[in-house]
Amino acid sequence: MIEREPGMGALGSVYLRCLQAVGRRLDYGTSVYEREWDVLVVLDACRPDALRAVAPDFAFLEGVETLQSVGSCSSEWLENTFMTASAREAVGRTAMVTGNTWTDRYLEADRFALLDEVWKYAWDEDLDTVPADAVTDRAIRVGRAHDPDRLVVHYMQPHHPFVPEPVAGDSGMARTGTHSSETSPWVLLRRGDRSASRVRTAYEANLRYVLESVATLLENVEGRAAVTADHTNLFGEWGLYGHPMHTPVPALLTVPWVETTGRDEGTRDPSLTPPESLPVSRVYDAEGDASRLEALGYL
């Protein structure tokens, strides 16, 4: 018996499973480590066309190009970017600040110079996600305190839930669970319970929301910066919605790539720090010693 995807009939589920069977056997995409950057801003599930649409309102978004991602969902992108043997040395010189909840399932923290999983202590229960400014504050603090060789800053937006304009019926994003949801905007859209224009408007508003925070980040970090995404979201291309794993659809794998510059002008003094009760295992330094939090200035 074929397990059905939320909102899909039996034939649709078979179709997706066939695509995924092909996708599991394909090597596709370009690792971000093949590009030059000091600060990598990752916008979760960001489409290039959406970024181009809002680019005129953000000075740092000049020349939105594209890149083929190494994954069609976050977990696949995390594994194929940071867990490969060829990337081990580069990852060891990388600090990562992330709001993405898949990190503790798919990453090994001691591979990184530092891994700050902001979602574990700055989750907003009302929003059902990690606010963009929380990720920005932690990235600024890490950049200034440690001056890492490379800094990855992974925001959860524009991935749903849509903070400025929530879509009615969207139950939000669980901290843990499956890749699929019975009530995501993509399922609601597939079922015809919400219009494409309504979801697109909310998605773009969420993108603008996170980009305001990215603008603050770039005023408070130093170095060559790039803005990209782990994957995109499908709005019906190839009959699919959202971002199923192992799905080699070009519109899902073609992510934005924008090169810009960060200059620390000191416009923000971040105050967010992990709570003192945070277990040591959640934050790692390069040596992995027993006094990680104290050594990183978190206590």
pLDDT digits 0-9 by tens, 264-273: 999 999 989 8
- Tell me the pLDDT tens digit for each residue of 217-264: 999 999 999 999 999 999 989 989 999 889 899 999 999 999 999 999
% of the chain residues with pLDDT over 70: 85
pLDDT at position 278, please?
54
Q: Is the pLDDT reported for residue 292 higher than 70? A: no
pLDDT at position 87, please?
97
pLDDT at position 288, please?
38
Minimum mean pLDDT range among 19-23, 36-40, 147-151, 153-157: 19-23
At 115, the amino acid letter reads L
Name residues whose C-beta falls within 8 Å of residue 28's C-beta, 6 or more positions apart in sequence: 68, 70, 248, 253
pLDDT at position 8, please?
59
pLDDT at position 6, please?
54
- Tell me the pLDDT tens digit for each residue of 60-71: 999 999 999 999
pLDDT at position 280, please?
33
pLDDT at position 7, please?
53
> Who wins on pLDDT, 107 or 180?
107
Q: What average pLDDT does this structure show over 115-137?
A: 95
Residue-range domains of the chain with CATH: 10-272+291-295 (3.40.720)
- Tell me the pLDDT tens digit for each residue of 195-216: 999 999 999 999 999 999 999 9
Predicted model pTM: 0.88
Round to whole Å and give the CA distance between 116 and 96: 6
Q: Is the pLDDT reported for residue 184 higher than 90? A: no
Q: Which of 24, 107, 29 is nearest to 68 (CA)?
A: 29
Round to whole Å and give the CA distance between 94 and 92: 6
Q: Which of 207, 171, 278, 193 is nearest to 43 (CA)?
A: 207
Name residues whose C-beta falls within 8 Å of residue 77's C-beta, 6 or more positions apart in sequence: 69, 70, 71, 230, 231
pLDDT at position 289, please?
33
% of the chain residues with pLDDT over 90: 67
Please report, for residues 34, 76, 132, 177, 216, the alpha-carbon distance to residue 213 in angstroms, rounded to integers and kept in the order given: 26, 26, 6, 27, 5
